[in-house]
Chain A
Amino acid sequence: MTAYDYAIVGNSAAAVNACDALRARDPRGTVGLFGEEKYRCYSRPLISYLVAGEINTQGMYYRPSGYYRSMGIDFHKGVRVEDIDPKRKILVTAQGERVKWRKLLLATGFTPFIPPIEGLDEVHYLTFVSWDDAKRMLRLTSKPVSALVVGAGLIGMKAAEALHARGAAVTVVEKMERVLPMALDAKASALVAERCGAKGIQVVTGEGVSRLEPKGAAKGLAVLEGGAEIAFDLLVMAVGVRPRTELAEKAGIPCAAGIEVDEYQRTALEDIYAAGDAARAMDVVMGEPAVNALWPVAALQGKYAGMNMAGGEIPYPGCNSMNAVEFFGLPVLSAGMVNPPDSSYQIISRQGEDGEYRKVVLKGDVLVGMLMAGKIERAGILTSLIQERANVRRVKNFLLDEGFGHINFPRSVRRGRIEEGVAGLKEAATKAVRGG
């Protein structure tokens, strides 16, 4: 029976960053990585760039071609893991192969959520989360088509933009009142919707699809809750995603809306770790574990899982919900809480011309959220203050200034940040609390 010191289930951001981190600590341990897709590691968020023709297939790869070999990783390409036996420390592949492991990482990612809409089984539809989805979309848009995208979250809006680039006539339907309802606030949503509208993308919000009907071999008709009918040649379902927890659940690992992990990315079962879009880890802004199915968050969790699997005891610092997107030349960045739940939060915002908009959300003297549209330079300074839970009382009124930066911090804090690099961040934040 094949045996590995480290078995990795998954082949995306969390899995690969875990490999990098554990290799840095353990150059010799054997590593087996199981990826069910028939690709070496690629960047999932880039599928919209691929469909739009902004990058070629070579640009999809997250690591160079010799990556697995150079890292000493046995890459099991196109191999799905069906079962894990936590007691005997064995995994079983779909082909029936049994593999022993010493430590296991579950980086199983997410799966698209398909809502039960009447008639959905009778029409053809696409999801937009994988390279195969992108290939299908490219094939189906070789001639101009009418496309309907259901769901105006990040996946749906990026699908809409890509379809538009392929010459499709695009309509987006969103049940909630506005586009990107989770990532953005109402004003930023309006800015994005306006850009999309100006490019000819129809956006219908506040209304879901109540029924779908097939029309001939491939086409269909959607009937909205308000009664309007939209004919389509191509349907994309992008309502949301769910963490893939089946494997963990079957093994008896607690999964409440995501595989539960501690600060070392360990699951409840010994020597089994989890990271990425399937895992529920600490969100520093929410103050409790949450699933943030975002590439940078998955990569960071993977990194900490890898370090700890290889003998480290380094707690994951936590993350926040952060997004960087651009629609038709309008960049929008957000971090932390952009839609505060009640009036105990303070909001400071500023709106300029040409899509320029900035906003910060504070709870007392702590920055908990930020949003920048149009001009986004130096947004990361705010993100780091959110991440570090720093006291910003002294700089509150300057946070949205274009010149805001380290110059606004007390000199000792500034020194700590600049001279010690990121290693000095935590300390600097503590100083800021004391200084404030």
Chain B
Amino acid sequence: MMRIVPKEEVCIGCRLCEIHCIVQHSKSKDIVKAFKREKRPVKRVEVEEQGHVSFALQCRHCDEAPCITACLSGAMHRDDASGAVINDPERCVGCWTCILVCPFGAVRRDEVERKAVGKCDLCPDLEIPACVANCPNEALILVEE
């Protein structure tokens, strides 16, 4: 099971993680198209910042994930292969119960599609998730458990 751990001591608050997350989850995976021409995806990582302190936070893929238990439709589930907590947009009805129960505030709405898609999927197509790979100061590290 892979987990992404933030290191606030070295985070510079540049938000490149947010940008690369959006690009990676866009249709074209092209930075300009993703932001200017296509429907911009919802970010799945969020930088929290106050003064000089900042860190990026995404879904913790909890062992006892409250979002999975609370999900009304069964859309939120654990992917058996990767261990990641994944929302199936086909089955999600946009009731927002996952947002109500996530202790990390790590699920966002896609307000157009009315689905709770804005959560980290650990970038299944990449060896290293986009936010980790593109952090300029190793403030997001990948831990294999």
Contact = CB atoms under 8 A, between A and B. Distances in A.
A322 B72 contact: no
Contact of B99 (A59, A62, A379, A421): A379
A164 interface: no
B96 A326 contact: yes
B57 A380 contact: no
B63 A423 contact: yes
A324 interface: yes
Interface stretch (A95-103, A104-112, A227-235, A296-304): A296-304
A378 B90 CA distance: 23
A335 B97 CA distance: 11
Contact of B100 (A379, A417, A421): A379
A114 interface: no
A43 B69 CA distance: 13
A75 interface: no
* Chain A residues touching B, range: 35 or more
Contacts of B108: 377
Interface string A45-87: 1100100001100010111000000000000000000000000
Interface string B5-41: 1101000000000000000000000000000000000
Interface string A397-436: 0000001011110010000011101110100000000000
Contacts of A267: none
Chain A contact residues, majority secondary structure: helix
B62 A59 contact: no
Given A326-B96, A331-B96, A335-B100, A299 B105 contact: no
Interface residues of B, number: 42
A370 to B, nearest CB: 10
A407 B53 contact: yes
B64 A300 contact: no
Given A333-B96, A405-B48, A405-B57, A322 B101 contact: yes
B136 to A, nearest CB: 20
B112 to A, nearest CB: 11
Contact of B74 (A43, A324, A377, A380): A43
Given A403-B48, A407-B53, A54 B70 contact: no
B94 interface: yes
Given A43-B73, A62-B73, A379-B105, 6 more contacts: A46-B73, A54-B93, A296-B97, A380-B100, A381-B104, A405-B48
24 contacts: A43-B73, A43-B74, A45-B95, A46-B72, A54-B93, A296-B70, A322-B100, A323-B100, A324-B100, A333-B100, A377-B108, A379-B105, A380-B99, A381-B105, A384-B103, A403-B48, A407-B50, A417-B104, A418-B60, A421-B60, A421-B62, A421-B63, A422-B103, A423-B63
